Structure 1
Amino acid sequence: MSGQERLQPIRVLVVDDHAVVRQGMRAFLSLQADMRVVGEARDAQAALDFLATATVRDVMPNVVLMDLVMPRLDGVSGIRTIKKLYPGIEVVAMTSFSETERVRAALAAGAAGYLLKDAEADEVATAIRAAAAGETHLDTAVARKITRALTGVSEGVSSLSQREREVLVLVADGYSNRDIAEALTISERTARTHVSSILLKIGVTSRTQAALWAIHQGMTSVP
């Protein structure tokens, strides 16, 4: 993200099948000085319809706040399609359910964050800012639940694959997803997927926490 882009407000599209939720999110986000709600959609298909003409109307969002349980086209399918057609748009998933498989499916589809609908308003804003900055943010309860599911046998460093360890070392060294992709000759999306998996496996909710965890474990190339 360039310096000029950072001066612009984060443009947000709110996607939820409940009008009251959309209105509440719009009201809250409109109070954030660094955010601007550019539109609402009642489901993922309506969101795709919105995006199809967003460029010509100058309302293309930076971040989509996406419910996962909706009619017509569900949130996970919507995330997958958005990331395929508009890779520059980040998606933060929201749902009332902390189901492990749904969380993992959303992250695998390309979501940059995951929140429960009862999350505090400030956490919603934090997740949107993190997504706009190319980082991953997970609801604490969700991360804890998935961590328990993933670490039944192995824990900590031993739960990470060799590639995930390589990625975590670079995270600890301050590399962005783009830097990691270049260093390991992988796509930026693959780098993000690895980072999301690492967060879940070691039980932290942000990239910064992962870096601190890695440094504590001695996993850094910096002397």
Structure 2
Amino acid sequence: MDQRERPLRLAIVDDYAVVIAGVASFLADERIDVVETGASLPVVSDVDIVLFDTFGQVTGNGIDLEDYIRNGGGAKVVIYSWNLEPSLIQQAMAGGAAGYLSKVLTGPVIVEALERIMKGETVIMTGDDETSVDGAGDWPGRSVGLSPREAEVLALIANGLSNQDIAERAFVSPNTIKSYIRSAYRKIGVESRTQAVLWAVDNGFVPNRSRNIDRDLRTRPPAPEQALAGVPKASAPQP
């Protein structure tokens, strides 16, 4: 098989199992082998790209990209986020990211972007200007009507961040964060921060630090020519 026809080998990094499952499902029909999924830990499998989903995470200067490619395999890190603040993108790219992709992009567009990155391009694709629209994938609280941004704000609240801390991470004003909080509280039926945290704990907003690896895909299969190289050649007939 031609190297270009090989499925792209991907690790998906995030601390929330439902988010990872949503991204993996979203990409399931594309030209991708999802080799490893799990929490924000160094990737141990032989992959081409580490897709860092920013749900509930620090972005920009807060991401130490080397943490995800310590195995020395040369994987590229691509940020996958709804937060498209230009200065945030700049920080991530300056920190070594090979690409920055919006969550409003479709599966085929994402795969095309990843393939371009594998060819050596630096790819930034922001998609729609409105980044709070419901995209593909999944997130905690979606079943009760929380938008991606409302869910992320609630996740950060559950992790003990103040409104000011969240606003600084999201590059929006504290008043905007308060608006997200009010709408999220209304949807989940709570009236206080304490009630919101308790609801979050009971509804999938506690980070999951586990890792899942496809044992059949963890090690890259040899290219056909490499496999043939290990086969002893037949001896020439003796005269």
Could you tell me the TM-score, scaled by structure 1's length? Answer: 0.48
Return the structure number with greater helix share.
1
Q: Whose radius of gyration is greater, 1 or 2?
A: 2
